[in-house]
A = this chain, B = another copy of it.
Amino acid sequence: MSETPTAAFSIRIRVRLENRPGQLGKLAVAIGDAGGNIAGLEGFEAKAAHLDEDVVVNCTSEAHQQEVLEAIRALEPEGIELMSWEDRTFAMHQGGKIEVLALSPVGDRDDLSMAYTPGVARICNAIAADKNKAHELTIKKNMVAIVSDGTAVLGLGNLGPEASLPVMEGKALLFKEFGGVDGFPICLDVTSAEEIIETVLRIAPVFGGINLEDIAAPQCFEVEERLKELLDIPVFHDDQHGTAVVVLAALENALKIVDKKMADLNVVVAGVGAAGVAISKILLEAGVPNVIGVDRQGAIWEGRADLNPAKQWFAENTNHDRKTGSLAQVMPGADVFVGVSGPGLVTADDLRTMGVDPIVFALANPDPEIRPEEAAGIAAVIATGRSDFPNQINNVLCFPGIFRGALDAGATTITEGMKLAAAEAIALSVPEDRLAADFIVPSVFDKNVAKLVARATAEAAVRDGVIRVRR
């Protein structure tokens, strides 16, 4: 599916056309013949003998970018000159994607004497007398650390902390855009879960929340658990719970389409890493009686050897019938398939063995466990992690709102109740009259979602009694 030209591989070219009719047409034809999609014409500039034009072209790969550029260069004898080009994704990342700006202007001596010395000493003293005041009088009120050790960057594996930074910056950008939350990337050069925990504890004074990200399983479980225990601010491993919350929301709406109940479901979860474990847990909490997890070795059952603690928990709390065997062997009769594993893991034939009106969430990114085209006509509801198909399961529907709500409420942790409330809010943000098999989750650009999630999360925090005491 990576053959569709996309903005991720887009280029901006600047071309000079001789000023006579048909030149732009020739250019467009050449780009089209080379497989490029013209996504925009920008910065048109007419001069006497020629026109300068900026053209945005979506491509499919870096090699394809070069093919498109070659096709344009070949037009030089015809009066079309390639003057310059840039890779738009790389251009966008030049110098990073976020900046730190002043909330208070420092225009004169009076401003300086309040924001800095001597006035700031009054604030320091106030906080020294009562540490809790940091939650009001500093960035701690709205600042979330986006913490990664770079061991599980996107689907790419252990790329190291530097290479994880662009993802964490992207996350910071989404935190601000959708939740009004300030996020700051903390990419750690460490070698163990213990070092992550220790470092986060040390930097915690600055932050009102900790969002863990792209940390490999099973270390991520220990890191989150221990930090939750040791800190009095919300700690949230987005790869686990962000995904789980959105999956639950999507499933709630999917069940309305197929007219089933949580209490009657058999669910198969392929992939028992961070996301798979969290999804399974939240489904059990939401009342699903039967989940079967499948990893590379097949179904997880109590008694299987080689289980790490997370999978051991899994074995004890799921698959009550102790089914064994491959994914294909546990699919028959399942109502729901959730894939958080890898591309092409299930076939249309596998889906045909499922119960009536199967629900298929094929969330591996960028290439899902089964292509939606293949599942069409078999599955009643299909969701993926991709933006170019209906029903995109994307964490951005959850994390900005859930932290917004937690910070607004002054929550000291994120409870199961808060996560369930967030899922409910996401599900309900699809209006009942628009709910359909191809519209079970709201658009990631629906800014209302984060507001609804924030409100629901904050209310749940109050209900669960996890609000920081204010003096």
Instruction: Tell me if B138 and A160 are in contact (CB < 8 A).
Output: no
The reply to whether the CB of A97 lies closer than 8 angstroms to some CB of chain B is yes
Are the C-beta atoms of B125 and A177 separated by less than 8 Å?
Answer: no
A154 to B118, CA, bound (A): 9
Q: Which of A148-201 contact B (CB under 8 A)?
A: 150, 153-156, 159-167, 169-174, 176-177, 182-190, 195, 199, 201
Residue A7 contacts which of B119, B155, B189 (CB distance < 8 angstroms)? B119
Chain B contacts for A160, CB-based, 8 A? 128, 131, 205
Measured CB to CB, the nearest residue on chain B to A115 is B170
Q: How far is the CA of A95 from the CA of B127 in the complex (A)?
A: 13
A116 within 8 A of B: yes
| B365:A118 contact, CB within 8 angstroms | yes
Instruction: State which of B62, B101, B201, B206 has its C-beta within 8 Å of the C-beta of A186.
Output: B206
A93 touches B185 (CB 8 A): no
A108 interface neighbour in B103, B117, B123, B445, Cβ under 8 Å: B445
Shortest Cβ distance from A106 into B: residue = B177
Docked-complex contact B205 and A189, CB < 8 angstroms = yes
Q: Is A308 an interface residue (CB 8 A)?
A: no
Q: Does A305 contact B (CB under 8 A)?
A: no
Is residue A14 contacting chain B, with contact meaning CB distance below 8 A?
A: no
For residue A468, CB closer than 8 A to chain B, the reply is: no
Q: Check B154 against A121 for contact (C-beta < 8 Å).
A: yes
Residues of B within 8 A of A142 (CB): 95-96, 99
- A65-105 vs B, Cβ < 8 Å mask (1 yes, 0 no): 00000000000000000000000111011111111111110
Residue of B with least CB distance to A188 = B202
Query: In the assembled complex, which residues on chain B have CB atoms less than 8 Å from the CB atom of A128?
Result: 153, 156, 159-160, 162-163
Contact partner of A93 (CB less than 8 A), chosen from B99, B117, B137, B153, is B137
One of B99, B106, B186 near A182 (C-beta < 8 A): B99
Take A90-B123, A165-B206 as given contacts and tell me if A96 and B7 are in contact as well, using a CB distance cutoff of 8 Å. no
B-contact bits for A332-375, CB 8 A (1 contact / 0 none)? 00000000000000000000000000000000011000000000
In addition to A6-B113, A7-B110, A120-B154, 10 A-B residue pairs with Cβ atoms within 8 Å of each other are A6-B118, A7-B111, A7-B114, A92-B115, A95-B103, A96-B141, A124-B159, A184-B184, A190-B202, A199-B202
A-B pairs with beta carbons under 8 Å apart, 21 shown: A7-B119, A89-B119, A92-B104, A96-B103, A100-B143, A101-B101, A106-B173, A106-B177, A109-B387, A117-B366, A118-B365, A124-B163, A127-B159, A128-B163, A131-B162, A139-B185, A165-B205, A185-B206, A187-B205, A188-B203, A199-B199
